[in-house]
Structure 1
Amino acid sequence: MPHPTVITFTGLPATGKSTAADRLARDLSTPAFSGDWLLGALKPHGVLTGLDRPTLLAMYYDLLTTLITRQLMLGQSAIVDCLINDEIATRWQSLATEHDAHFLAVECILPDEPEHRRRLATRARAIPGWHEVPWSHVARMRAEYPPLTVPHLPLNALNPIEDNLALVHQALTD
């Protein structure tokens, strides 16, 4: 990556976004920031207790935006693993542009519901302070976060991770 790039992996829980983000971070030696890891670090300190959802989400995205901004100020890339909508993608695209950086939104999808349910039920992320989520959470996130309509790279989680990462690497060189 000749220019700093902000690469965000979004998608419903258990669609492979964390796996893809982590693998790409290793491939590129680029820091990866995960929203769930941030919340897991805050939860034991009571910071999240009593927050209404809009305040929680504002804090969540502001924390990630701060980390992205810091990387861009250093002239470095950042990989972000979290669920976003068009508004957040547009905000981060503008932030990247302000810092003469590129932006790539990657949306992980899993169109096979039985497989999606199986992956959710069998995953164990082991994020300190954070919890695994039930299928009802996936359904809620599907309602709150419609598929992206801004330019993005879709990745089908039914495809091998190596094939999906090859698509991301290709998008980064285009």
Structure 2
Amino acid sequence: MRGRTSHRLRVCDSAVMLIVMAGLPGTGKSAVAERLGRALPATVVSVDPVEAAMLRAGVDRGQPTGLAAYLVAEAVADGVLALGQTAIIDAVNAVDAARRQWRPLAERHGVQAAFIEVVCSDERVHRRRLEGRSRGISGFEEPTWEAVQRRRAEYEPWGEPRLVLDATEDLAANVTRARAYLAEESPARSTR
């Protein structure tokens, strides 16, 4: 246990974080996550490819693959944080239960959790982006606009502090805002 405590101090001192992305499909959260991953650097753990891999492996679509994908992403991020590296979770995180799962993971590693929600304030732009994208995730069907609207109806209000980025803004500007927010939240730079 003694080695675990010194590891936690080292992780905090080096500003390792758990960054949790959230937002409806097609809002641009994956683009922000990927750019942040390159810039920081950080490992991006995306839920959609995890779920697609489960489906390709033969897990029945009637099973709760979405929940399972979140748990697998949590396990992968746990390993990344254990190595003393920043992890970025790329997931819709539409409900409070999904969002709450990340805080204990950060606490186990003694690192800060920072939440970034990506929205698209222009519905026409959002729909055009969603319907025009093809991420090439084998075995994963892109959601329809109707499916996104159902997700929107289920989207729960936030209780966590977070940065909200609007995808109608320039991607580079949003990444700059995210980096500034993360610098403020970083335990190595804060006075908390």
* TM-score > 0.5, shorter chain as reference: yes
Match of residue 116 from structure 1: 126
Query: Aligned to 2:78, which of 37, 50, 69?
Result: 69
Q: Deviations over 1:45-89 (max 9, x none)?
A: 2114331xxx33331221111111111221211011101132222
Partners in 2 of 1:143 and 1:137 — Cα distance?
10
Q: How many residues align?
A: 171
Give the alignment of 1:91-130 within 5 angstroms: 91-130=101-140
Partners in 2 of 1:159 and 1:115 — Cα distance?
11
Query: Aligned to 1:30, which of 42, 60, 63?
Result: 42
RMSD of Structure 2 on Structure 1 (CA): 1.6
Partners in 2 of 1:62 and 1:152 — Cα distance?
22
What code does the residue aligned with 1:21 have?
A
Cα distance, 1:99 vs structure 2 = 1.0
- TM, length-normalised to structure 1: 0.91
- TM, length-normalised to structure 2: 0.83
SS of equivalent residue, structure 1 residue 138: helix
Asked if the contact 2:51–2:68 (Cα under 8 Å) also holds between the matched residues in 1, the reply is no
Asked if the contact 1:86–1:150 (Cα under 8 Å) also holds between the matched residues in 2, the reply is no
Partners in 1 of 2:20 and 2:40 — Cα distance?
14
Partners in 2 of 1:18 and 1:167 — Cα distance?
16
Match of residue 154 from structure 2: 144
Asked if the contact 2:48–2:69 (Cα under 8 Å) also holds between the matched residues in 1, the reply is no
Partners in 2 of 1:114 and 1:67 — Cα distance?
35
SS of equivalent residue, structure 1 residue 171: helix
Gaps of 5+ in 1: none
Query: Aligned to 1:50, which of 47, 62, 85?
Result: 62
Partners in 2 of 1:111 and 1:147 — Cα distance?
16
Structure of higher CA gyration radius: 2
What code does the residue aligned with 2:37 have?
A
Are the structure 2 counterparts of residues 147 and 158 from structure 1 closer, same or farther at C-alpha, using a change threshold of 3 Å?
A: farther
Asked if the contact 2:54–2:65 (Cα under 8 Å) also holds between the matched residues in 1, the reply is no
Q: Once the two structures are aligned, what percentage of the paired residues are identical?
A: 35
Query: Aligned to 1:79, which of 85, 88, 92?
Result: 88
Match of residue 3 from structure 1: 15
Gaps of 5+ in 2: 1-12, 185-192
Query: Aligned to 1:90, which of 100, 105, 115?
Result: 100
Asked if the contact 1:9–1:106 (Cα under 8 Å) also holds between the matched residues in 2, the reply is yes
Range 67-76 or range 15-24, more displaced: 67-76
Asked if the contact 1:107–1:148 (Cα under 8 Å) also holds between the matched residues in 2, the reply is no
